[in-house]
Amino acid sequence: MIISIIAVLFTFGLVIFLHEFGHFLVCKLSGIRVDAFSFGFGKELLGFTRGDTRYSVRLIPLGGYVKPAGEDIEEVSAEQEKLLENSKSSALLENSNQPAAEKTDRIPVKAENTELPSYMYFAKPWYVRLGVVMAGPTMNYLLAFILFSGVILGVGEPVPSSEPVISEITAGYPAELAGLKNGDRVLKINGTAVATWELMAKTIHANPGREISVLYRRAAEERTIKLIPRAAPDGAGRGVIGIAPGVSYNSVPVFKGLAMGLHQCWYWTAFTVKTLASNISKREKPDLAGPIGIVNIVSKAAHTGAADLVFLIGLISVAVGFFNLLPIPLLDGGWAVLFLFEGIFKRRITPVIMKYVNGAGIGLLMSILLFATYSDIMRIKTSHDAKKAAATTQEGLDETSKQFGIALPVKDK
C-alpha cells in the first residue's frame, strides 16, 4: 500500500511538475517575470522569494504551477485602460498649468507610455507566448524520451517469445474475464493446433466479435474455454483478448537505444491519434482512463518492477503532453491556436470573447474528466462482475456473460 502511494505521488508529481517547469524555463529565458513557481498544490509548507519569484513547496505533491506576470488577459486589458487614462490626465494637467490656458486649450494629446511593461506575459509578441505554452508538452515528450531510452539501454531490446505461453494479461479483457492466467500454454484454437505465438495471434486477430474455443494447459491439466475476442482499440479490425507473450532482452548500442526511445514517443502518439480517430469515425465511446484507472495502473506497475514503472511514467508523460496539445480552450493547444490566429490575422482575441471561450473549455474538460472517471468505475465493476460470473458458472452462457465477452463451455452447436 505504501509503495503504491509513493509510486502514484512520484509519477503524477514528476510528470506535471516538469510540464510546468517547461513553462517556467521559457518564461525566464524570454524575460517574462514569474510571480510564483510551486511544487504541489494547497497550503504552502515552505518557500522563499528570490528576485520577483516566490518558490514554494505545497501540501499536495501532485504536480505544480507557474504564474507569469500579466497572464490574465482581462487584468491586462484593465491595466492598459488605466495607463491610457493616466496618460490622458497627465496631458490635461500639463496644459492647464499654463497661465494663459483657455478651456479650449485643454485638448487631450496622443497618449504616451500606454504600453504594458515588457516583463508582462501579454506584452510579449505572439510567438514568444506560443513558445511558452508549447514548452510544457515539449518537456513531457523530452521526459518520455529520456525514460524510454533509459529503460531500453538499461534492460535491453525486448524480443517476444515464440512459444504460445501467456506471460501477461490485460485487466478487463476477455482472457482475464474468462479465467486465463500467466503461465497457461495455449494448445489449440477452434480445434487447430497452434505451435507458435504468431500462429495463435493470427487466429485470434482473424476473429473479432466471434466466439472461439481455446484449449490450454495449466500445470498438468488441460482445459477448454470459449471466449469472444474484442476489436482492437486501434481500429485495425483485429480481434484481441488481452494477452502478451514472454519476453527476453538483448543489449543494444547507445545510438540504437536512443532511436528506439524516440520511436516509442512517436508510436504511442500515433497510436493515440489513430485510436481516437477510429472512435470518432465509428461513433464509438473512447476507452479513456481517468484518475482512478491511472492510479490503479501505476499501483500495479510499482509492484512488477522498476523498469515497468519507469516505462509507464514515460507513457503517462506522452499522454499528458498529447492531451495538452489538443486545441481545447484552457489547454496549451487551445492557447497555441489563439496565438497562431493572432500571428496570422494580426488581431488579438478580446477579453469578452475569451470569457466565453474559457467557459466552454471548462465545461468540455469537466465532461472529459467525468466521462473518464465513469469509464474507470464501469471497467472495475465489469471486471469484478465477470470474475464472479466465471467463478460460479460452469455450464451455459447467459446474457450477463455475453455482455462481458465471456463464453464458458456450452453444449455443441
pLDDT digits (tens, 9 = 90+) for 41-93: 889 999 999 999 999 999 888 778 899 988 876 666 555 556 555 555 554 44
Is residue 105 included in any domain, yes or no?
Answer: yes
Residue 383 buriedness (CB in 10 A; 0-12 / 13-18 / 19+): middle
* pLDDT above 90 as % of the chain: 45
Report the domain count for the chain: 1
Is residue 87 included in any domain, yes or no?
Answer: yes
More confident residue, 317 or 275: 317
Which of 94-98, 156-160, 332-336 tops mean pLDDT? 332-336
pTM of structure? 0.72
Is residue 262 included in any domain, yes or no?
Answer: no
**What is the C-alpha to C-alpha distance for residues 235 and 247, in angstroms, rounded to an integer?**
26
Is residue 86 included in any domain, yes or no?
Answer: yes
Is residue 94 included in any domain, yes or no?
Answer: yes
Is residue 85 included in any domain, yes or no?
Answer: yes
Residue 290: the pLDDT is: 63
Q: Which of 409, 410, 388 is nearest to 400 (CA)?
A: 388
Residue 148: the pLDDT is: 95
Among the residue ranges 60-74, 168-182, 256-270, the one predicted with the least confidence is 60-74
Is residue 88 included in any domain, yes or no?
Answer: yes
Q: What's the average model confidence in pLDDT over 197-213?
A: 93
Residue 80: the pLDDT is: 55
Which of 139-148, 228-237, 263-272, 289-298 tops mean pLDDT? 139-148
Residue 98: the pLDDT is: 54
Give the structural domain span for 89: 75-115
Q: Which of 160, 134, 168, 141 is nearest to 261 (CA)?
A: 141
More confident residue, 85 or 9: 9
Is residue 3 included in any domain, yes or no?
Answer: no
Q: In the block, which residue shows the cell 463464453?
A: 407
